[in-house]
Structure 1
């Protein structure tokens, strides 16, 4: 077996780490950048801005999973990596490397979005997102996302995940962060998609609860996958 063939079939940890960093960075640039653009163009209509933000996120997420999924699994999300490690589909060492890549990528994605719109790179959001309803929304959003990932038929995860996130933007009070790395990255953007630092711990805790709930529900539902 040649080196190139082996690399293609079995990406190295460094290649997978880069895929997670790049994917998370682009995902955050899409979420934050489309939010900035939507807010500029919507003329104060928050519903239109959220619709534009949703459409860009759905499209970007689908493409990123399709392109980078064969390399790293396209987690872009610490709770996804943790669940995969718990299921022994990823070593804990690799999961920690993934999480580090996701957090670095999320910050770089926020900075990239700011640079593209000629905004100050270094920002902190002032947008408070807190309270029991928001936390419950994040539990629901994250549990649903993990269930989709765990139970998606082979080859359909990218479309199902993108569709679920698009729906959850609208049926959850939090607009479905469902991702500690996204909360971390969006903390550094005082824009439409931002979240105040004081609100991040509550979101992350709720997301972890949602991930645990998804694992339990998946076990109760059994091993069957439709399709």
Structure 2
């Protein structure tokens, strides 16, 4: 595998996360405008572009940075020794900054004020459990496929998982602290109140860590045939 210089990997994480958020927020704005008040239709219009862009971005940037776009994914790779801790910290920083830039880009495309704070409440045990489950499933999907050594399946698998998780979780599957922070800065369909962000992030980190530990146990060698 080609090892790209750190600055190129960080650039890939920044641009990838920005485009992901521009798609999540932009498609949410467009879907809400066109759905005529039908929330299910608006959610579908938000879901499909998100899954589609994930497939494209992971395919495009995976060979460069690993296409994490997510602090939980970055932390998981750091914990298994595939990414230096200092580099992981820089990944997380550019993911957060890139996410915010992506939200502002979506606002600019739809002629909305760049600076916003969401007023959309996403609070309660159901939301928190949903975020833990959504993030755990994401980590299991990524590391399970890596264990099978079929890297080409990661992009479609992650995209399909997120599309499914939009609909089977009560929170619509943020599953990503950087995405959660960025979405607190848009008072549109995809938003989340800033006060609800910390609980989401804690649930995401907890779900990701539990999933990583379980996956490592599941695939541990026992020494038996």
- Measured against the shorter chain, the TM-score band is over 0.9
Q: 1:156 matched to which residue of 2?
A: 153
Query: Shift in Å at residue 219 of structure 1?
Result: 1.9
2: CA distance, partners of 1:222 / 1:74 = 23
Q: 1:207 matched to which residue of 2?
A: 204
Q: Any idea what SS the aligned residue of 1:9 has?
A: coil
Q: 1:99 matched to which residue of 2?
A: 92
In the alignment, does 2:59 pair up with 1:66?
yes
Query: Shift in Å at residue 222 of structure 1?
Result: 1.2
Aligned 1:77-156 pairs, distance under 5 A: 77-152=70-145, 153-156=150-153
In the alignment, does 2:172 pair up with 1:175?
yes
Q: Which runs of 5+ in 1 are unaligned?
A: 1-7
2: CA distance, partners of 1:220 / 1:48 = 40
2: CA distance, partners of 1:40 / 1:203 = 27
Query: Shift in Å at residue 10 of structure 1?
Result: 2.3
Q: 1:28 matched to which residue of 2?
A: 21
How big is each residue's C-alpha offset from its partner over 1:56-115, in whole Å with a ceiling of 9 and x where there is no partner? 000001000000000000000001001100100000011011001100000000000000
Query: Shift in Å at residue 9 of structure 1?
Result: 2.8
1: CA distance, partners of 2:14 / 2:38 = 33
Query: Shift in Å at residue 223 of structure 1?
Result: 4.9
1:190 corresponds to which of 187, 193, 196:
187
How big is each residue's C-alpha offset from its partner over 1:177-223, in whole Å with a ceiling of 9 and x where there is no partner? 00000001000000000000010001000001101111121023115
1: CA distance, partners of 2:22 / 2:30 = 11
Q: Which runs of 5+ in 2 are unaligned?
A: none
2: CA distance, partners of 1:220 / 1:90 = 20
- List 4+ stretches of structure 1 deviating above 3 A: none
Q: Any idea what SS the aligned residue of 1:177 has?
A: coil
TM-score scaled to structure 2, two decimals?
A: 0.95
